[in-house]
A and B are shown apart, each in its own frame.
Chain A
Amino acid sequence: MSAAAAPRAAPGCTDLPVLRERGQREVFCGLTGIVWLHRKIQDAFFLIVGSRTCAHLMQSAAGVMIFAEPRFATAIIEERDLAGLADANAELDRVVERLLARRPDIRLLFLVGSCPSEVIKLDLKRAAERLDRRFAPRVRVLNYSGSGIETTFTQGEDACLAALVPELPEAKDPGPRLLVVGVLPDVVEDQMLRLFAAMGLDRVDVLPPRRSTGLPAIAPGTLFLLAQPWLGDTARALEARGCRHLPAPFPLGAEGTTGWLRAAAEAFDVAPSRFREATALGIARAEKALAAHRPLLEGKSVFLFPDSQIEVPLARFLARECGMRPLEIGTPYLHRGLLAAELPLLPEGVTLSEGQHVDRQLDRCRRTRPDITVCGLGLANPLEAEGHTTKWSIELVFTPIQGYDQAGDLAGLFARPVDRAQRLKV
């Protein structure tokens, strides 16, 4: 199987029935997206309007970033704010004023909705509009929801980027342009832009940009490529402005990266020879790096708990490029449209599950005894204590894993726990 070959696969999992479950979900809420979003947009500040729980979550998720004077905070709702809504708005204005006075470098402020702010129906959209008028033109104020009742983990990024779409300026010259959508680590983003340049695509923008003052321009007909599978609302918002989605697999592994780049190359009529030239070196390097980890992973079974929505592309990579056997692929949401290029590549016989009943899913996991279980940090150590080898899933969101030059690192994330389990003699 050559990763460079076009994946003209068998029907695979496209029509596979999906196990839909409801019960306790062991997942993060969308607020967590702030942890990587604020690193990406360097002049943005994320103000959560929520409870002490929200602040506590952010602190638990952001860990050691404490000393970096992070560009996020929580306006903690107190008892007196619950007494009357008018008061809560005045309080919010006061908090924002204090915040912006302290941080004159901020150009974009997101008011991020939480479960408490939504349940008490605090209208953050209107609050954002009010504050936007007040602090214009120095600071733009926008709003989105990262609440647990609305969003799961990475969907916070989707909600944030969808809120940015109406802000994108209209392109003056409506020539062909490509927009890459989704937060990628800077190093990966730069690699991808170099690959596009090598194919002759020079009008490539990214959303979100590194500074809010450099929002990319779009026009009807702008083609966009999703870098992450959790961007359903953002895709819809872009389509509403006349942009067109390029269906593609996600850039995990050599095969995924080639498929992702090819979607753009074909849309922009890049000559096949030029495409091969641009990607040959990357493919060769990725395959070489993957080969180092393959002996540890080949033939091993893997069980994925729902976390970020990266599970389907990830399982495809692990199956096709590492020779692993996915048993169950759990995802918080299964967006068939965005996964149209992924589902046919999944091996037959895999169980797809959407949503979660964590205790029943743990029962299935224990019953099938996978060689590696991909799960969150709330489950990882308890499963290890039961004798399972685990790979904690949040790392897949914080670590550079996309693109050719990270394919080996991605496989390494799964090979390491296996290697470790073999080394330890105590």
Chain B
Amino acid sequence: MQLAVWTYEGPPHVGAMRIASAMRDVHFVLHAPQGDTYADLLFTMIERRASRPPVTYTTFQARDLGADTANLFRDALIEANDRFRPKAILVGASCTAELIQDDPQGLARTAGLAVPVVPLELPSYAKKENWGAAETFYRVVRAFAGPHAPPPGTPRPPRPADRPPRANILGPTALGFRHRDDLREVTDLLGRLGVAVNVVAPLGASPADIARLGEADFNVVLYPEIAGTAASWLARSFGQKATRTVPLGVGATRDFIREVAELAGVDPSSVLEEEASRLPWYSRSVDSTYLTGKRVFVFGDATHAIGCARVAAEELGFTVVGLGTYSREFAREVREAAACYGVEALITDDYLEVEAKIAEAAPELVLGTQMERHIAKKHRIPCAVISAPVHVQDFPARYSPVMGFEGANVLFDTFVHPLMMGLEEHLLAMFREDFEFHDEAAPSHLGATATVAAAASSPVAAAVALSKPTEEASAAPVWTPEATKELGKVPFFVRGKARRNTERYAAERGIRTITVETLYDAKAHFAR
């Protein structure tokens, strides 16, 4: 058993729902107990879909257990088919139904439906949401594109010279972080390269579209977590190559353009020459100088974590002090990326472990999921969201891709906004001793009487005090009043780090009393 308060991923059947909800003319009949319909509201509320997900639940209850659940499944299947008239039906079991061992595939076969039925195996006690999405997409692709595959070993015929190159875009789903806008951005990029889009799947695709996947010359894989399995099958069955670069950031987008051009046999130079992103100039402008070496901790799904770490390091000049993922399936890729930054990859789905690593790394910026947003808030560290799972605010109304050149603009703003802008930071440092601008001064519109509580009761001080294990308290060095006062002059957002560093410095040298000199010795010691 694993003790979990928050989970980065849902169960695999939620991944299957993401595929079914993304597609057209497909209905998913899920053998599940009463209550599992909660997952509907992820789609209707977080993604704000205007229709119910195309999912029928059998909703069995305790009194149905026994032979009755199988009938319940068959009845629900026949009724869903009559009511919704889909072109294809997916059938599967949620975690509880997996235990009662009704056989959705066998039951679907005996129901004698006129539409194709795709059975899904969703091992709920071993796998998770992204795996479920990848597996479901793979099963759907096999079921509908499979019959059109040439015999194994057939070489792919060359593209006729008079036909423009065609690509499938694979991976966007329902409930995907920025999938809607990434798709538009990448479609536009392909258009500028002269590559036609054959099929986008699963988002917006019908079973008939899936059947046409083999007609494309190659595949663009936007989200390997979801489309990787299907893309390797398409490579084996149709000889379609697939892109490996995910266009997150300016550099990766340029690499992606080169890769697509190579697969399509077109010339990328005109598209590469256009300076389509503001990121390079914004990053060079002097106000961004203060971003240099800012310590950033990156955590998310593997694709976004790797992509955003590269943007942070190469395009904003940050120092990556932590890189991790909850996508165990992609641990190897994340480890390789982490090695480039000289850090050890964190592969975990336990948010407490992520919190401990963040506290240890003491970054100045966290890039992560909504969990990291809350962790960062608790530790008062600036944070930006770069990966699912996300809340409703990260399904924005405005155009906000994270891929391609516009995506790079979005990433620049997203990473920089939580940090203080350069001028603001400079002014704060300059005036930090000012009588109306010190940490404990209340906003001026509240008047002189509204002073906030003393530093000891401030959340930062409390957090710093709490983070110190009690058993070490007696051994911890003592701060002289002068040193404490001097520490108070350090801006609040780095004070915790200064305190920790100083105490570590003192502890390592056996210094029992921290003076102003110790504080500055430690500062010199830890200076980068």
Interface residues of A (CB under 8 A from B): 23-32, 49, 51-53, 55-57, 59-61, 63-64, 66-67, 70, 72-79, 81-82, 88, 91-92, 94-95, 98-99, 115-116, 118-120, 147-150, 152, 359, 376-382, 384-385
Contact = CB atoms under 8 A, between A and B. Distances in A.
A382 B49 contact: yes
- Nearest first, the 6 closest Cβ-Cβ pairs linking A and B are A29-B35, A148-B35, A378-B40, A385-B50, A115-B96, A51-B95
B38 to A, nearest CB: 5
Given A53-B94, A75-B1, A78-B125, A148 B36 contact: yes
B61 interface: yes
Contact of B65 (A78, A99, A149): A149
Contact of B126 (A78, A149, A376): A78
B1 A92 contact: yes
Given A24-B58, A56-B7, A119-B65, A51 B44 contact: no
A31 to B, nearest CB: 7
Given A53-B14, A74-B4, 15 more contacts: A51-B95, A53-B124, A57-B35, A57-B38, A61-B38, A64-B391, A67-B377, A78-B126, A99-B3, A115-B95, A119-B99, A149-B62, A150-B61, A378-B40, A382-B51
B3 A95 contact: yes
Contact of B52 (A66, A94, A152, A378): A378
Contacts of A95: 1, 3
Contacts of A28: 35, 38
Nearest to A91: B1
B45 A56 contact: no
A92 B5 CA distance: 15
A149 B59 CA distance: 8
B409 interface: no
B60 A76 contact: no
Contact of B40 (A26, A53, A73, A116): A26
Given A51-B125, A53-B10, A116-B96, A381 B34 contact: no
> Which of A31, A32, A92, A382 is most buried by chain B, counting CB atoms within 10 A of its CB?
A382
A88 to B, nearest CB: 7
Nearest to A385: B50
B56 A24 contact: yes
Nearest to A332: B34
B156 interface: no
Contacts of B38: 28-29, 32, 57, 60-61, 378
Interface string B362-398: 0000000011001101100000000000010000000
A149 B60 contact: yes
Contacts of A116: 95-96, 99
A359 B62 contact: no
Contacts of A92: 1
> Which of B3, B370, B377 is most buried by chain A, counting CB atoms within 10 A of its CB?
B3
A25 B59 contact: yes
Nearest to A152: B34
A73 B95 CA distance: 18
B1 A59 contact: no
Interface string B47-82: 011111000111111101100000000001001000
A150 B76 CA distance: 20
Contacts of A378: 37-38, 40-41, 44, 52
Contact of A382 (B11, B34, B44, B58): B44
Contact of A381 (B4, B10, B44, B375): B44
Nearest to B371: A66
B33 A115 contact: yes
Nearest to B43: A378
Interface string B288-319: 00000000000000000000000000000000
A73 to B, nearest CB: 5
> Which of B39, B41, B45 is most buried by chain A, counting CB atoms within 10 A of its CB?
B41
A52 B5 contact: no
Contacts of A57: 35, 38
A149 B96 contact: yes
Contacts of A77: 1, 125
A380 B44 contact: yes
Nearest to B50: A385
A273 B79 CA distance: 60
11 contacts: A53-B36, A56-B7, A56-B14, A76-B1, A78-B1, A95-B3, A148-B33, A150-B61, A377-B41, A379-B44, A382-B44
B421 interface: no
A195 B161 CA distance: 87
A299 to B, nearest CB: 29
B20 to A, nearest CB: 15
Contacts of A147: 33, 35, 62
Interface in B115-145: 123-126, 128
Interface residues of B, number: 58
A67 B378 contact: yes
A147 to B, nearest CB: 7
Given A24-B56, A29-B35, A378-B40, A67 B2 contact: no
B381 to A, nearest CB: 13
Contact of B125 (A23, A29, A75, A82): A82
A256 B61 CA distance: 33
A378 B43 CA distance: 8
A100 to B, nearest CB: 11
A381 B1 contact: no
A419 B14 CA distance: 36
B99 A120 contact: yes
Given A60-B42, A78-B1, A88-B1, A119 B96 contact: yes
Interface string B503-526: 000000000000000000000000
Nearest to B34: A148
A208 B486 CA distance: 50
A79 B125 contact: yes
A30 B13 CA distance: 20
> Which of A32, A57, A70, A120 is most buried by chain B, counting CB atoms within 10 A of its CB?
A57
> Which of A59, A72, A118, A147 is most buried by chain B, counting CB atoms within 10 A of its CB?
A59
Contacts of A82: 99, 125
B6 interface: yes
A381 B3 contact: no
A75 B11 contact: no
B374 A52 contact: no
Contacts of A118: 62
A224 B44 CA distance: 40
A212 B128 CA distance: 36
B83 interface: yes
B100 interface: yes
A359 B44 contact: no
Contact of B95 (A26, A52, A150): A52
A424 to B, nearest CB: 15
Contacts of A75: 1-4
A269 B36 CA distance: 48
A81 B124 contact: no
A226 B52 CA distance: 36
B5 A70 contact: yes
A292 to B, nearest CB: 29
A126 B38 CA distance: 30
B11 A56 contact: yes
Contacts of A119: 65, 96, 99-100
Interface string B162-197: 000000000000000000000000000000000000
B59 A52 contact: no
A340 to B, nearest CB: 25
A159 B95 CA distance: 23
Contacts of A88: 1
Contacts of A64: 391
A147 B83 CA distance: 29
A85 to B, nearest CB: 13
Nearest to A26: B37
A95 B5 CA distance: 12
A27 B34 contact: yes
A376 B41 contact: yes
Contacts of A99: 3
